[in-house]
């Protein structure tokens, strides 16, 4: 019998599909004879009472969720997401540098420092990556700091804004597709696969702003992990292997029949009737991992 704390914030219960998923975790745990309690920020002093912590609140090194993760980790508890994964996934520059180092198939990417923003460099970037180019600030999520620029003027305009957030930006080849593949990975194994459809006329799957009534753009189409190309799973697993052994949602694009990683997310969304609709065992598998 394991005692599992699920760290949540109030907004995790504001979307009924997410709330249902949270109760699916609770039911899966209790069915297996474990204790499963929701832990809110008022009660984080209770962490030492538990054997494992499962974080569902949004993770960021500046958020309470990180304190929870770090505390659990230092106490030797099993923790998803672990502090290292949170840190790497929060920083696209760090993450892309790891992909480069370990040869993970990825969208062609160059890094741009504040001091290198001049005509020659911009021209070289466009020559290498083509037009438009996609510009990303390292700490983006929910597509907030991901924009494209097709000429030097707009490139300067976007980068100037983003350099207020960070001294280094990632610039990528524009690789539009009708959907992003989303591969759920746990402990080096595929958990589920779905497609995050990109709305017509847009190029970003866009925002799942948890807790806010705003924008839920693309549809989610569960595919099932048995039904997808082996290569897709292979690339997704390779990407996660350079980050850690926890729970991740890998975004990939299909280009000329092969797959490139867009990014690895820790704390991937799990909504009842969406990510779980083909791979029903995801709740049980995550609970098994936490209680192992």
Ligand X SMILES: Nc1ncnc2c1ncn2[C@@H]1O[C@H](COP(=O)(O)OP(=O)(O)O)[C@@H](O)[C@H]1O
Please pick, from the candidates 78, 106, 205, 208, the single residue that binds ligand X as defined by CB under 6 A.
Answer: 205
Residue 122 structure tokens: 């911009």
Cβ proximity to ligand X, 104 vs 262, nearer residue: 262
Stretch in the footprint of ligand X (CB under 6 A) among 76-84, 114-122, 171-179, 240-248: 171-179
Residue 180 interacts with ligand X (CB under 6 A)?
yes
Q: Which residues are CB-contacts of 162 (< 8 A; sequence separation ≥ 6)?
A: 135, 136, 137, 145, 169
Stretch in the footprint of ligand X (CB under 6 A) among 43-51, 116-124, 137-145, 183-191: 137-145
| Helix or strand run (H / E) with residue 133 | strand 133-136
* CB closest to ligand X, residue no: 205
273: left (phi over 0), alpha (psi -120 to 50) or beta: left
Cβ proximity to ligand X, 81 vs 251, nearer residue: 251
Cβ proximity to ligand X, 2 vs 141, nearer residue: 141
Please pick, from the candidates 4, 5, 86, 107, the single residue that binds ligand X as defined by CB under 6 A.
Answer: 107
CB of 134 to ligand X, least distance (A): 4
Please pick, from the candidates 251, 254, 266, 275, the single residue that binds ligand X as defined by CB under 6 A.
Answer: 251
Residue 254 interacts with ligand X (CB under 6 A)?
no
Residue 203 structure tokens: 């190029």
Cβ proximity to ligand X, 57 vs 77, nearer residue: 57
Closest CA to 103 of 276, 235, 284, 274: 235
Residue 134 interacts with ligand X (CB under 6 A)?
yes
Please pick, from the candidates 10, 153, 161, 176, the single residue that binds ligand X as defined by CB under 6 A.
Answer: 176
Determine the Cα–Cα distance for residues 261 and 107; give it in Å rounded to an integer. Answer: 6
Return the residue matching tokens 């198939």. Answer: 105
Determine the Cα–Cα distance for residues 116 and 112; give it in Å rounded to an integer. Answer: 7
Stretch in the footprint of ligand X (CB under 6 A) among 3-11, 32-40, 95-103, 201-209: 201-209
At residue 184's C-alpha, the angle toward residues 91 and 98, to 5°, is 35
Angle in degrees, 0-180, between the axes of helices 282-291 and 16-31, rounded to the nearest 10? 50
Q: Which residues are CB-contacts of 276 (< 8 A; sequence separation ≥ 6)?
A: 21, 24, 192, 222, 270, 282, 283
**Which residues, numbered 54-93, are part of the site for ligand X (CB under 6 A)?**
none
Number of residues that bind ligand X (CB under 6 A): 21
Cβ proximity to ligand X, 134 vs 169, nearer residue: 134
Residue 172 interacts with ligand X (CB under 6 A)?
yes
Name the residues that contact ligand X, by CB under 6 A.
107, 134, 136, 140-144, 146, 172-176, 180, 203-205, 251, 262-263
């Amino acid at each position: 019998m394991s005692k599992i704390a699920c760290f949540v914030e109030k907004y995790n219960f504001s979307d009924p599909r997410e709330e249902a998923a949270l109760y699916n975790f609770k039911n899966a745990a209790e069915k297996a004879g474990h204790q499963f309690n929701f832990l809110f920020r008022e009660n984080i002093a209770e962490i030492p009472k538990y054997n494992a912590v499962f974080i569902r609140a949004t993770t960021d090194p500046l958020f309470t969720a990180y304190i929870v993760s770090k505390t659990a980790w230092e106490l030797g508890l099993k923790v998803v997401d672990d502090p290292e994964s949170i840190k790497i996934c929060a920083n696209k520059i760090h993450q892309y540098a790891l992909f480069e180092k370990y040869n993970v198939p990825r969208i062609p990417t160059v890094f741009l420092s504040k001091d290198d923003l001049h005509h020659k460099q911009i021209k070289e970037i466009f020559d290498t990556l083509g037009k438009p180019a996609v510009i990303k600030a390292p700490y983006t999520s929910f597509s907030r700091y991901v924009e494209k620029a097709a000429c030097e003027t707009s490139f300067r305009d976007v980068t100037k804004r983003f350099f207020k957030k960070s001294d280094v930006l990632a610039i990528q080849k524009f690789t539009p597709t009708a959907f992003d593949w989303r591969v759920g990975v746990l402990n080096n194994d595929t958990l589920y696969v779905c497609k995050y459809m990109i709305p017509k006329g847009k190029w970003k799957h866009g925002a799942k702003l948890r807790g806010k009534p705003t924008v839920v753009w693309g549809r989610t189409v569960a595919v099932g992990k048995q039904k997808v190309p082996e290569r897709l799973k292979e690339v997704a697993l390779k990407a996660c292997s350079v980050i850690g052994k926890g729970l991740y949602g890998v975004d990939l694009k299909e280009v000329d029949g092969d797959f490139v990683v867009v990014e690895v997310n820790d704390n991937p969304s799990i909504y009842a009737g969406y990510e779980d609709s083909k791979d029903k065992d995801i709740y049980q598998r995550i609970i098994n991992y936490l209680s192992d």
